[in-house]
Amino acid sequence: MKLGISSYTFPWAIGLPDATPSQPLKPLQLLERAQALGVGMVQFGPNMPLDKLPERELRDLVKQANSWKIDLEVATEGIDPGRVREQIKLAKRIDAILLKTTPEHPVGQIPMRTEISNCLRAIAGDLASEKISLAIDNSRIPAQELNELLGAIRSPWLGAAIDTANPLALPQGWQISVRVLGHRTLSLQIKDVVVEREVHGMGFSVRGCPVGKGQLNIAWIVESFASLRIEPSAILESWTPMQKTLQETIDLEAAWAKQGVDYLRRFIPE
């Protein structure tokens, strides 16, 4: 496994709705943070789309990544064949080692399983010809359904992306995701959370925390992939809670990133 960060490691620094920093983090600065943290991979997500960059800035970004020996990945949203083909071309242009997408419509609705299957079959040939692997995020699809869907298509260029936190909304825990999709996993988004019962007993609260301080068992996850002889990219992300000010939140987010990388290095040395 190779450890990396993504644009969702620093979402507050990049900017969220109603929370825009005076100087939002730029793609080259994200690359600089990866270099400072000592990780060799950066995944650029929909909150920092590289296809919006001017051509010169994109070339400079790729040049710097090559200089620092940092691998690039691209993450997007949607499964429209035309849109995915554009992202495949982008991934090829920047020599990205992986493309990841979350199958959902622009309004946030989840497509029917047959629609997802048809769309993936439509672009399977493009993936093969460009030699780009596509990881399907499990955040919105139950693990067993995604496993069956990918198994039916049988493309070596298609796999799964496991997020350790987002599938809680299905609801589904990270252990089920790893057990069912582990053999198909190309990308692993590592977020840690704490789940606590509300004081009145009526429900639970889920909050983000630094990796290693919550309920995620990193050792078990790493050992599970090792037993399968699978080495997905391991991308550190976080759900940093809002502090009194945006700057305090951004500072905490950066501290969690450093703390998370230091902790994960115990299990993922590369």
Angle (CA) 161-167-173 rounded to 5° is: 105
Which one has a higher pLDDT value, 107 or 41?
Answer: 41
Q: Return the pLDDT at 89.
A: 96
pLDDT of residue 111: 87
- Residue 8, token pair as written in the block: 């969702």
pLDDT at 204: 85
At residue 96, the pLDDT reads 96
Assess whether pLDDT exceeds 80 at residue 257: yes
* 106 has a pLDDT exceeding 90: no
Fold of 2-264: TIM Barrel (3.20.20)
pLDDT at 197: 87
Give the tens place of pLDDT for each residue, 111-127: 889 999 999 999 999 99
Q: Flag whether the pTM goes above 0.85.
A: yes
pLDDT value of residue 201: 85
DSSP 3-state assignment of 125? helix
Bridge partners (DSSP) of residue 188 are: 162, 234
Q: What is the largest CA-CA distance in the chain?
A: 57
Give the pLDDT confidence score for residue 166 in this predicted structure: 86
Interatomic CA distance for residues 224 and 259, integer angstroms:
23
CB neighbour list of residue 31: distance below 8 Å, 6 or more residues apart: 42, 61, 64, 65, 68, 70
The answer to whether the CB of 180 falls within 8 A of the CB of 229 is no
Q: DSSP state, 25? A: P
Span 149-161, average pLDDT = 95
| Sequence-distant (≥ 6) Cβ neighbours of residue 30 within 8 angstroms | 5, 7, 10, 42, 44, 48
Beta-carbon contacts of 48 under 8 Å, excluding residues fewer than 6 positions away, are 7, 14, 25, 27, 30
| Position 170 pLDDT exceeds 90 | no
Rounded percentage of the chain residues whose pLDDT exceeds 70: 100
Tens-digit pLDDT profile for residues 55-80? 999 999 999 999 999 999 999 999 99
191-226, pLDDT tens digit by residue?
999 988 888 988 889 899 999 999 999 999 999 999
Residue 252 contacts residue 240 (beta carbons within 8 Å): yes
In order, the DSSP letters of 191-231 are: -EEEEEE-TTSSSEEEEEE-TTSSS--HHHHHHHHHHHT--
Q: Which residue has the tokens 């919105």?
A: 140
Residue 110: pLDDT over 90:
no
